[in-house]
Amino acid sequence: MWAHLAVFALSIVLPLWCLLGLIAWTSVRQARDDYQQQTMVVARNMALELDRELAGFSGILSALATSPALQDGDLRRFHEQAVRVAPAGGAIVMRDRSGQQLVSTLFPFGTPLPVTAAAAVRAADECVFRTRSTCVSDLYIGTTDRQPYILLDAPVFRDGEVEFALNIAVRAQHLASLLARHQLPAGWAASITDRQHRIVARSPEHERFVGSLANAALRENTAADEGRVRSVNVAGVPVWGAYVRLPAWGWRVAIGVPEEVLGAPLRRSLFFFGAAGVLAIGLSIAAALLYGRRLARSIGALDRLAAAVGGSVAPSALSTSIRELDSVSASLAEADVRLRASYAERDRAQTELQRLNDELRAQVEAEVAAREEAQLQLAQAQRMEALGQLAGGIAHDFNNVLQAVQGGARLIQGDAADEGRVRRLASMIVDAASRGAAVTRRLLAFARRADLRAEAVDAAELLAAMREILQHTLGTGIEVRVTVSPGVPAFFADRGQLETVLVNLAANARDAMRGAGALTLSAVSETVAMDGDATSHPPGPKPGTYVQLSVADTGIGMDASTLARAAEPFFTTKARGQGTGLGLAMARGFAEQSGGALHIESAPSCGTTVRIWLPVAQHAPVGVHPPVAETGHVTEARHRILLVDDEALVCTLTAEELKTAGFNIHAVGSGAEALKLIEAGESIDLLITDLSMPGMDGLALIREAQQRRPDLPAILLTGFATDRAELAIGGAVSGSFSLLRKPIEARLLAERAAVLLMAAEPSRA
């Protein structure tokens, strides 16, 4: 079919179209080549003229640089010579390496001259001092008349070294006048650009475009010495252009010819070519329509054959007078046979694929289930390992405590008559119980459950006091240093627990240094920004302002595996019996509970640095006040205390200790009994109760008691910290209230009771 139609179309259209196209192409190509060659010639001529102009200025500078007046140091005579040869509208200036102007033809000799600050001028001077040859600057704005200038800079030698930079400042308008002397055709534009691709001079419209960046095409083609580009110039006109580089100066001269000028021959050729094409196409369409009628019937039959392929009825091949149509119809009939066979094969493949997908899904589900089960088992094993390590450490320490307590008690029970021995054994039992209490306090600090009495602390005063303590306790082989940055503010923390943390860290450092080295305590102010880098801060500190305390030693350091476990509870590298492994865990718990963080840095043979971030205090630290009361005052007053504890042994021992301190004690075993006594009008000056009790707990008892007697002070005792105790501290109980931790010495309990009783006396008076 296409062969029949092509005979008519090509016999009419192709010869005419080819002839007209060849003529148009030849005409346009010739005109474009002529214009491009002409622009390149003009650009080269302008570049040569600009090079001669700059070389002339360079010659003036070279002559002045060797002036006898300059060699003799007679700057006045040199100034007179420079004034005579200075270009109109320009200036000659000489500067030293610092940029100080020594001679300037813009001013009379002897006028104080400034230090040149223009970046382009300083860059040209640096080029002269570096290359020891003449350099040209980029375009810059003069400081005196605010006009655009360029600068030619030459070296002044003395004893073989470049001592001064001598330059001629030439107005950009002078270079524009060089371009204007060339009579360019209408619409053409010429420009000079510096090394930064800024227009130094342009013709026409110099004043409008001087200082502007050259178009993108010129900025991108910076490697070649000359070339042709197609772009849009700075005036927004599409142009064909040519550019030439001045090798000695690095500047370029560019000529732009509007595409409107180059496109005029093309438009004329396209007009004639299009008209001939329209005529040829019209004739071709007419011929195709005449012959198409004959083909329509055969194509319609072929269309019906194609629609029947793959249907329920197998189609048969056509027989026409066109060989291509007959071949296509035979191919369609054959394709119908292959298509029916492929349908059957596709159905079999889909069935097999579905079976494989079902098997694969089952295998994946089984693998995922097995992996999840393995991960659960691994997590459980890790939890059990951590729990076993924690329980083992606690059991070890408390077994030692219980061994000492039980052994001492049995010895006292067996030989109670020996008063001296009983006192000595009782003292040993007290020491063992104190060690157990210390382990408990460290565990609470590690779990962030210890109650903190935070206050504003002055970093410089704290570290100075710690230095006095540590200098005598660490040994003569340890040098204790303190560095505090100026202006470090006070921070907010429990001073007592912080001092304990610092002492523990110092003891670890002493062991790591094996008794000889330097220990540095330092404090700096640090702000953690909202987008703070995670590599400079541990994950703990939230955005805010902190005081960073650090303890650095010069010890043996830790490897990566030891450092990773250093803060784990009960992990220690010390020999058995020399460490509990709770020091660093307690320090981390204290820092995080105080609203800060702790980070450890260490490497083998590089020492260890422990950094603690603590929040900045809002108020200045206050001095330490003396105790408000003494226990002896209570002994004389014989105040009556209601003691409540469900543990009979603890209740009895606590009552005996308070009686020894001089109090009258009424002890009961539950909150309900205590409320009955209060409601019955029993005379009570102070309520002391345990927190955890069956039925009514200590917090509820204090609340109910103070509702009945608002002026009744209370002390809550607890062996662990809970959310309810923290709530009470925050004001859940309205009356006079204090929270103390078990175990507590009788002396401390008596002192706290005395403080509350004395505070309550004015309200009762």
Among 570, 588, 615, the domain-final residue is: 615
The tally of CA atoms less than 13 A away on the side-chain side of residue 82 is 30
Name 547's Cβ contacts closer than 8 Å, sequence gap at least 6: 459, 488, 489, 490, 491, 523, 524, 525, 526, 613, 614, 615, 616
Is 337 a domain residue?
no
Is 389 a domain residue?
no
Question: Of 701 and 417, which is predicted with more confidence?
Answer: 701
Question: Of 82 and 579, which is predicted with more confidence?
Answer: 82
For residue 756, the enclosing domain spans: 631-764
Residue 634 confidence (pLDDT): 41
Range scoring the smallest mean pLDDT among 190-204, 634-648, 686-700: 634-648
For residues 592 and 489, state if they share a domain.
yes
Entry field: residues in the chain: 765
Sheet with 597-602, edge to edge strand ranges? 478-484, 517-528, 544-553, 608-615, 597-602
- pLDDT tens for 371-429 read 777 766 655 555 555 455 555 556 656 666 676 676 667 667 777 777 777 777 777 77
Whether 12 and 280 have beta carbons less than 8 Å apart is answered as yes
The domain that contains 116 carries what CATH number? Answer: 3.30.450.20
For residues 744 and 639, state if they share a domain.
yes
Task: Decide if pLDDT at 445 tops 60.
Answer: no
Is 463 a domain residue?
yes
Residue 484 confidence (pLDDT): 93
The domain that contains 666 carries what CATH number? Answer: 3.40.50.2300
For residues 750 and 658, state if they share a domain.
yes
Residue 8 confidence (pLDDT): 59
Position 316 confidence tier, pLDDT thresholds 50, 70, 90: low
> What is the total count of domains within the chain?
4
For residues 674 and 722, state if they share a domain.
yes
Task: Decide if pLDDT at 745 tops 60.
Answer: yes
The domain that contains 606 carries what CATH number? Answer: 3.30.565.10
For residues 507 and 542, state if they share a domain.
yes
Among 169, 201, 221, the domain-final residue is: 169
For residues 662 and 756, state if they share a domain.
yes
For residues 463 and 583, state if they share a domain.
yes
Position 631 confidence tier, pLDDT thresholds 50, 70, 90: very low
| Cα–Cα distance measured from residue 704 to residue 513, given in angstroms and rounded to the nearest whole number | 57
For residues 37 and 185, state if they share a domain.
yes
DSSP 740: E
Is 672 a domain residue?
yes
Of 118, 221, 109, 241, which is closest to residue 169 (Cα–Cα)? 118
For residues 154 and 255, state if they share a domain.
no
Residue 273 confidence (pLDDT): 65
Name 702's Cβ contacts closer than 8 Å, sequence gap at least 6: 687, 689, 714, 716, 728, 733, 735, 737
- pLDDT tens for 198-214 read 888 887 877 888 878 88
Whether 665 and 658 have beta carbons less than 8 Å apart is answered as yes
Is 363 a domain residue?
no
For residues 609 and 508, state if they share a domain.
yes
For residues 603 and 459, state if they share a domain.
yes
The pTM (predicted TM-score) of the whole model is 0.35
| Cα–Cα distance measured from residue 442 to residue 586, given in angstroms and rounded to the nearest whole number | 5
Is 601 a domain residue?
yes
Is 369 a domain residue?
no
Among 245, 261, 277, the domain-final residue is: 261
For residues 101 and 236, state if they share a domain.
no
Question: Of 449 and 688, which is predicted with more confidence?
Answer: 688
Is 351 a domain residue?
no
Whether 252 and 245 have beta carbons less than 8 Å apart is answered as yes
Residue 488 confidence (pLDDT): 92
Whether 547 and 526 have beta carbons less than 8 Å apart is answered as yes
- pLDDT tens for 32-68 read 667 677 778 787 888 788 888 888 888 888 888 888 8
| Cα–Cα distance measured from residue 511 to residue 584, given in angstroms and rounded to the nearest whole number | 14
Residue 385 confidence (pLDDT): 53
